[in-house]
Amino acid sequence: MAQDSKVALITGANRGLGLETAKQLGQQGVTVIVGARKASVAEETAAQLRQAGIDAYGVQLEVTNAADRAAVANYIQDKFGKLDILINNAGQTTGEGLENITSKVDQASLVEVFNTNFFAVVALTSELLPLLHKSPAGRIVNLSSILGSLALHADPKSPIYNSKPFAYDASKSALNAFTIHLAHELKDTPIKVNSAHPGWVKTEMGTSAAPMEIPEGAKTSVELALLGPDGPTGKFIHLGRELPW
C-alpha cells in the first residue's frame, strides 16, 4: 500500500454490488478491504482483485456479529492506522412480494432484516468512527434504496407507490434516518455521510428483471466514497441526483 493511499472497507464485498464497488475503487488506487461472512470467501475475493492489480485484503465480517466487528476494527488499526472510506453495502431482504400485507408481516423476518440493514450498520459505523476520524477526509456511504423514501411511498403518483415490502422498506427508511443524524453529528468534521440508492440492479436481490447492470449500479457508491471537500453530506443520492427522504 502506498503511504498516502486511501483505505476503504466494503461490507458484503464478495459478490454483486459490493464486489464491483471494491473493484472500481481499487482501479482508482484505493486500498480495499473486502468483508465477507467467511474468512475463506473474503480472502478468495481479495486474491481475485489482487490478480487484477488491485491492492486488496480480505476480512471475515458477519456484520451482525459483535466479535467480527471488533476484530475488523483492530485489524484496520494495526495494519493501516486509519480508515478513509466505509461502505455499508451488506444487506438483505425477506423475499416479500409486492403484494405484501404490512399488518401481517412476520415479526421474526422484521427483526432479521433490521438486524442486518440497520442495527448492524449503526454498530459497525460506531466501532469504526475513531478510525474514520484519523482520515483527512473520511467518507461513509450507507447503501439504501429508493424503497426507503417515505416521500415517494406516500405519493400516489410515485413509481414505487404500489411496492410495499414493509420489512425491507422500513429498514432502509431507518438507515436513511441514521444518515441524517450522523451527518449532523459530524457536520463540523471532514467526514461526510450519505445514503446511496444504487438503482434497480441485476443482482441476486434485484433479479434478472432489473434494468441496470452491476457496474452502473456501483457508480453511486464510488462517487460518494470519493467526494471532494465541497461534496454533499446528509443527502440521499442516485447517480449524482438527490432523492427525497
Contact indicator for 72, 7 with CB cutoff of 8 Å: no
pLDDT at position 99: 45
Q: Name the active-site residue from 57, 75, 161, 168.
A: 168
Query: Dihedral angle at the C-alpha atoms of 124, 126, 131, 136, nearest 10 degrees?
Result: 110
Instruction: In whole angstroms, give the CA distance from residue 26 to residue 231.
Output: 21
Q: Which residue has the higher pLDDT, 3 or 76?
A: 76
Given a cut of 60, whether residue 217 has pLDDT beyond it is yes
- Residue 112 to residues 13, 119, 123, Cα–Cα distance (Å): 20, 10, 15
Given a cut of 60, whether residue 1 has pLDDT beyond it is no
Place of cell 450498520: 121
Task: Return all residues near 181 (Cβ < 8 A) that are at least 6 apart.
Answer: none
pLDDT at position 45: 98
Pairing assessment for the beta strands 241-242 and 236-238 based on DSSP bridges: antiparallel
pLDDT at position 185: 98
pTM for the model: 0.94
Which region among 23-27, 90-94, 174-178, 179-183 has the lowest average model confidence (pLDDT)?
90-94
Given a cut of 90, whether residue 2 has pLDDT beyond it is no
Instruction: In whole angstroms, give the CA distance from residue 5 to residue 12.
Output: 22
Given a cut of 50, whether residue 63 has pLDDT beyond it is yes
Which region among 86-90, 163-167, 219-223 has the lowest average model confidence (pLDDT)?
163-167
Among the four given CATH numbers 3.30.70.2190, 3.20.20.70, 3.40.50.970, 3.40.50.720, the one describing domain 7-242? 3.40.50.720
Is 75 among the residues known to form the active site? no
User: For the segment 162-210, what is each residue's pLDDT rounded down to a tens digit?
Assistant: 888 899 999 999 999 999 999 999 999 999 999 999 876 656 565 556 5
107-112 own/partner pairs: CB under 8 Å, 24+ apart? 109/167, 110/166, 110/167, 110/170
Average pLDDT over residues 47-53: 97
How many Å from the N-terminal Cα to the C-terminal Cα in the chain? 38
pLDDT > 70 fraction of the chain, expressed in percent and rounded = 91
Which region among 24-28, 40-44, 181-185, 204-208 has the lowest average model confidence (pLDDT)?
204-208
